[in-house]
Amino acid sequence: MTSALKLILFDVDGTLVDSQGTIVSCMNEAFELYEITLDPRDILSIIGLSLPEAVARLAPQLHSDSHSVLISRYKDAFFRARAERGRDHSPLFPGARAVLDALHAVPEYILGVATGKSQRGLDALIEGHDLGMFVTRQVADHHPSKPHPSMILTAMSETGIPPADTVMIGDTTFDMDMGRAAGVTTIGVDWGYHPAAHLGADHMLAEFAALPDLLRRIWPD
């Protein structure tokens, strides 16, 4: 089954925006309460998961009540960073703006996001970077954590676009596993937070500028 419309879903952190500095510093600030020092590589490994799942993986030795405290402290630290630095706390990756604008100008393309961010966090990011082109916006508040396919399945349901005409673009194994579970084409990026060699994507991108041509190859006229 195919449709005239094509659904292009993006992960956010590590794919559209470079938020690792803010995420690492805020996570370490949260964990200071328990005198735990995290390896930055461990923090990068959980980016993309919902916050409860991420904290549980980083601190399996702590009780769930402590996880709730850490989540609250992380959110407070992140909101302060956003208030102090504005959109500079999570800048767009080079080339992202131009490509998003170009894809948005194609009538058949429907753009969306599938992210481990909260609704509040995504709304602030979209406002800060003027990313109103995203039609479907799937966030951790309303779904099981990646790699469960719920975000992609819901985006396809909302837009009426089938798996054959949907792609998932991301930088982590969670994104690729989610895409495979939903039956869509996966596109990995090599500028994100998981090693590109581990992604196992259907296609790989080395720069944003290559995305439009890749999509034309995936969906030839």
**What is the reported pLDDT for 146?**
96
Q: Flag whether the pTM goes above 0.85.
A: yes
**What is the reported pLDDT for 82?**
83
Query: In this predicted model, what pLDDT tens digit does every residue of 178-203 receive, in sequence order?
Result: 999 999 999 999 999 999 999 999 99
The structural domains of the chain, with segments of one domain joined by +, span: 6-18+90-218, 20-88
Positive or negative torsion for Cα 86, 84, 46, 181: negative
**What is the reported pLDDT for 198?**
93
Q: What is the mean pLDDT of the chain?
A: 94
**What is the reported pLDDT for 79?**
87
**What is the reported pLDDT for 204?**
98
Residue with tokens 């969906």: 219
Please name the fold of domain 20-88. Answer: DNA polymerase; domain 1 (1.10.150)
Contact 8, 110 (CB under 8 A): yes
**How many CB atoms are closer than 10 A to CB 16?**
28
**Which of 69, 90, 87 has its CA nearest to residue 25?**
90
**What is the reported pLDDT for 1?**
53
**What is the reported pLDDT for 3?**
65
Which of the residues 13, 18, 175, 177 is marked catalytic?
13
Question: Please, is 97 exposed, middle or buried when counting C-beta atoms within 10 Å of its C-beta (0-12, 13-18, 19+)?
Answer: middle
Q: How far is CA 118 from the centre of its chain?
A: 11
171 catalytic residue (yes or no): no
Query: Rounded CA gap, 80 and 83, in Å?
Result: 5
Helix segments in 8-129, DSSP class H: 20-31, 40-46, 51-58, 64-85, 96-104, 119-129
CATH number of 6-18+90-218: 3.40.50.1000
pLDDT average, residue stretch 119-129: 92
**What is the reported pLDDT for 168?**
98
- In sequence order, what are the beta bridge partners of 205? 189
Positive or negative torsion for Cα 93, 97, 100, 103: negative
Residue with tokens 């030839």: 220
Contact 122, 137 (CB under 8 A): yes
13 catalytic residue (yes or no): yes
Query: In this predicted model, what pLDDT tens digit does every residue of 6-64 receive, in sequence order?
Result: 999 999 999 999 999 999 999 999 999 999 999 999 999 999 899 999 999 999 999 99
Query: In this predicted model, what pLDDT tens digit does every residue of 83-97 receive, in sequence order?
Result: 887 777 789 999 999
Q: Which residues contact 57 (CB under 8 A, 6 or more apart)?
A: 46, 49
pLDDT average, residue stretch 149-155: 98
Beta strands in 88-193 (DSSP E): 109-114, 134-138, 166-170, 185-189
**What is the reported pLDDT for 2?**
57
